[in-house]
């Protein structure tokens, strides 16, 4: 009897996820422990919640707001699991759940997410596509508008999905386009190109020819590499030390 009680107590002790040991969490720690325990029972990825707490602490977020954010994340993760089940009967990975949950927290509607999850592709591609939709939303581009481009990229050049938001933003800035115009420009270019890189070149070329804005000729090569680094051709302290090293 004693052994079984000990076993139960020990297993409960070891299975409980440990909250960050930061005194700033003091006021909300009990509330957070309840949320985490519930998530653990529901087999949600608890590490995401703990990481969110650490993130809030690192960003100096007040503890009540951290608690609220963690609670919102739990709700979003539940919703994400339901959405992910439309994709496959297999349990989704924590990263896919995280991507869906964060997209929902970024106010991406369910419908675009369903369309992405219903499209052909493995879990990693779905995750990238959903992250891109959320990124586009944060940059002021409606996911509903961008869905055709995202779907096309999932087939043609899935590795470049993560670059789509920055491309659309740079087109908007360089050619004074609306987000819908920039998205349409990429969508049109992608119909005749096989990669996002070449579609970007075509979109830039088309927009420059249309005279809508200043031509951006070297954007694709502008990797900003290593400026400010190099070897001084002649190291010298340059101080008035009078110490001759002729």
Partner 1 sequence: MSRLFLICALVAPLYGAAASANGATEVNATISASTGHDSNALLEVSPAGTQARARGWFLGAEADLTLHLRRQGWSVLAEYSGDGRQAPTFGAIVWHAIDLSAQWRQGTTRFDVAVVVQQLFTSRYQEDNWVGAGLRLGTSIAPADRWRLRLDLGTQLREGSIATQFFSNTAASLRWQPSAAAAVGLNAQGAWLTPSLLNTQPIWQRYRCGPFGTVAWHSFIFAAAPFLGTRLLDHQAVGQIGAQAQVEHLLRWGFQLRAGIDLTKEFGETSAGRTDRLEASLAVAWSSTSPKPRLWEAPVDPATDIAPRIIGGRLRFRVRAPHALKVEGVGSFDDWGAGITLRHGESGVDDVWEGWIVNPACGPLRYRFIVDGVAQTPAQAPRYVADGFGGVDGQIDISVASCPPDEKTSPDVSPRPTSSF
Report the interface residues with partner 1, using CB under 8 A.
51-52, 54-61, 65-66, 69, 72-73, 102, 105-106, 122-125, 128, 131, 134-135, 138-139, 158-163, 165-167, 170-171, 200, 219-220, 222-246
Q: DSSP readout, 219-246?
A: GGG---TTTT----SS-----S------
Nearer to partner 1, 4 or 226 (CB): 226
Q: Residue 97: helix, strand or coil by DSSP?
A: helix
Nearer to partner 1, 26 or 230 (CB): 230
Q: CB 114 → partner 1: shortest distance, Å?
A: 20
CA–CA distance, 210 with 225 (Å, rounded to integer):
31
Q: CB 93 → partner 1: shortest distance, Å?
A: 11
Could you tell me which of 156, 169, 160 has the C-alpha nearest to residue 216? 169
Measured torsion, CA atoms of residues 69, 74, 80, 82, in degrees rounded to the nearest 10: -150
Q: CB 72 → partner 1: shortest distance, Å?
A: 6
Q: CB 217 → partner 1: shortest distance, Å?
A: 13
Distance of CA 135 to the CA centre of its chain: 7
Nearer to partner 1, 152 or 220 (CB): 220
């Amino acid at each position: 009897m004693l052994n079984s009680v000990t076993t139960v107590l020990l297993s409960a002790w070891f299975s409980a996820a440990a909250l960050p040991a930061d005194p700033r969490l003091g006021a909300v720690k009990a509330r957070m422990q309840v949320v985490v325990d519930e998530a653990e029972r529901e087999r949600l990825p608890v590490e995401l919640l703990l990481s969110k707490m650490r993130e809030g602490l690192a960003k100096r977020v007040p503890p009540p707001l951290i608690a609220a954010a963690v609670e919102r994340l739990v709700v979003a993760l539940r919703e994400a699991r339901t959405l992910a089940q439309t994709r496959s009967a297999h349990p989704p990975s924590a990263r896919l759940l995280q991507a869906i949950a964060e997209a929902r927290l970024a106010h991406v509607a369910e419908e675009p997410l369903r369309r992405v999850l219903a499209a052909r592709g493995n879990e990693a591609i779905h995750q990238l596509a959903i992250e891109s939709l959320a990124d586009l939303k944060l940059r002021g581009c409606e996911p509903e508008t961008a869905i055709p481009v995202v779907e096309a990229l999932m087939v043609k050049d899935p590795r470049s999905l993560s670059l789509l938001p920055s491309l659309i933003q740079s087109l908007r800035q360089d050619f004074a386009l609306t987000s819908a115009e920039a998205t349409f420009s990429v969508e049109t270019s992608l119909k005749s190109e096989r990669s996002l890189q070449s579609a970007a070149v075509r979109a830039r070329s088309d927009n420059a020819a249309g005279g809508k804005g200043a031509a951006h000729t070297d954007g694709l090569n502008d990797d900003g590499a290593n400026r400010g680094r190099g070897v001084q051709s002649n190291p010298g302290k340059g101080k008035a030390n009078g110490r001759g090293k002729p």
